[in-house]
């Protein structure tokens, strides 16, 4: 009975997450390869700039260990309220920051100095709750600020929000930062997350007295990286001491420093990221409706099976359903018995079967990493259902993503 209750809870949580995310038109992840590049500042100002353009915007801070979005928006000490929820269960009401809906783990801590000492599964569960149990309402954009690196938090977002529009990657010009950001782009590609573009932050300092430009951290590293990796370059944000003052005061610089060179530069980045086509329908570069609906050419899905349906524990499957898709439509299915279980065998075997995507109930982080090395995307937390139904839901962007019950 207890096991059935846990299963029901996971199913309900997945349904809530699907409903919440279904009310948000665009989801944008903001990443960086290393700390100290101003990623959170870029995320906050992107959200505010979109709001100033008349959009309904939310921002989610998933940096569990060092949340900084509340400070940047002047929300220190704020707490969340409770709303009616989408299914009769109470949901968390985000904090309003002059029209931007804000949610952060910081709002749920007792004090600003409280450390969060969690391993991966607990962080995954917390991010799932922040996404699925927050009363976001109808939004045009949700900006998701992830911690630096390619660890648990950005991986969880990619798994829980498989229909995200893509990632904005932030770097500073120097070689050390650019090298780390290159890994972030590789991370996105391994997880089939579109890279919307690179922002070069702290790019040059213009002396307010004499007007001379000084490249404190070099310049051009972000543009060269974008060109090398074949992704869009969104623009540069100059190094400006007033940005520090604005951030410490909890006022986004696009608002406090409106009309300055820094704010104008950021406006150019937003314009490069979001363009308007016909009837004020915002599109992101190179993102079409067909991609959102699963029109991805020829694909092969692998679903671990037990008793005719998805095996919730990946390592306990009896067989694999290999489902072929062409132009978004299921064309065939073959059931195959896997080779004997040994670490690393299944990722290689499924790679040999030309599999693009694995849909699983639960899978450990090490196994997920082995699949990404083979260029295979993994969707975890799927419900126990028939293979064709799971594939169709994935293609339609409606696949429920519950708890990864094997996330260890």
Query: Each residue of 5-26: pLDDT tens digit?
Result: 555 567 777 788 888 888 899 9
Q: What is the mean pLDDT of the chain?
A: 80
- State the CATH architecture for 293-396: 2-Layer Sandwich (3.30)
- Superfamily of structural domain 12-287: P-loop containing nucleotide triphosphate hydrolases (3.40.50.300)
- Give the closest residue to 75 by CA, choosing from 49, 103, 54, 53: 103
Q: Is the pLDDT of residue 276 over 50?
A: no
In 10 A of CB 298, how many CB atoms?
Answer: 11
What pLDDT score does 101 carry? 95
Q: Is the pLDDT of residue 218 over 70?
A: no
More confident residue, 29 or 162: 29
44's tokens: 């906050």
In whole angstroms, what is the distance from residue 150 CA to residue 299 CA? 26
Check: pTM over 0.85? Answer yes or no. Answer: no
Instruction: Give per-residue burial for 301-331: e unless 16+ CB within 10 Å, then b.
Output: bbbbbeeebbbbebeebeebbbbbbeeeebe
| Mean pLDDT along residues 299-320 | 86
CB neighbour class for 140 (10 Å; exposed up to 12, middle 13-18, buried from 19): middle
Where exactly are the structural domains of the chain?
Answer: 12-287, 293-396
């Amino acid at each position: 009975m207890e096991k059935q209750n846990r299963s029901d809870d996971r199913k309900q949580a997945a349904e809530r997450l699907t409903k919440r995310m279904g009310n948000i038109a665009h989801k944008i992840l903001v990443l960086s390869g290393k700390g100290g590049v101003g990623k959170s500042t870029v995320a906050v100002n992107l959200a505010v700039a979109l709001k100033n353009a008349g959009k309904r915007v939310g921002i989610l801070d998933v940096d569990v260990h060092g949340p900084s979005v509340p400070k940047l928006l002047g929300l220190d000490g704020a707490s969340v309220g409770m709303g009616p929820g989408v299914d009769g269960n109470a949901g968390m009401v985000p904090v309003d920051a002059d029209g931007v809906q804000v949610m952060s783990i910081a709002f749920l801590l007792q004090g600003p100095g409280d450390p969060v000492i969690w391993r991966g599964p607990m962080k995954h569960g917390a991010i799932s709750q922040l996404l699925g149990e927050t009363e976001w309402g109808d939004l045009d954009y949700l900006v998701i600020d992830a911690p630096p690196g390619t660890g648990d938090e950005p991986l969880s977002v990619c798994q829980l929000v498989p229909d995200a529009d893509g990632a904005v990657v932030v770097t500073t010009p120097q070689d050390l930062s650019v090298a780390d950001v290159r890994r972030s782009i590789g991370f996105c590609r391994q997880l089939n997350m579109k890279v919307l573009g690179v922002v070069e932050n702290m790019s040059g300092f213009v002396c307010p007295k004499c007007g001379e430009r000084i490249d404190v951290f070099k310049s051009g590293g972000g543009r060269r990286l974008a060109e090398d990796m074949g992704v869009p370059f969104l623009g540069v944000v100059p190094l400006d001491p007033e940005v520090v003052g604005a951030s410490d005061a909890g006022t986004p610089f696009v608002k406090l420093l409106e009309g300055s060179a820094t704010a104008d530069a950021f406006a150019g980045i937003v314009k490069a990221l979001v363009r308007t086509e016909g009837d004020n329908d915002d599109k992101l570069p190179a993102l079409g409706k067909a991609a959102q609906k699963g029109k991805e050419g020829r694909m092969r899905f692998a679903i671990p099976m037990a008793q005719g349906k998805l095996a919730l524990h990946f390592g306990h499957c009896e067989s694999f359903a290999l489902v072929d898709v062409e132009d978004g439509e299921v064309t065939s299915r073959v059931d195959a018995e896997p080779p004997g279980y040994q670490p690393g065998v299944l990722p290689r075997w499924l790679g040999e079967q030309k599999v693009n995507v694995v849909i699983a109930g639960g899978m450990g982080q090490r196994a997920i990493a082995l699949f990404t090395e083979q260029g295979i995307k993994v969707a975890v937390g799927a419900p126990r259902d028939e293979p064709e139904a799971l594939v169709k839901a994935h293609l339609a962007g409606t696949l429920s993503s519950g708890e990864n019950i094997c996330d260890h």
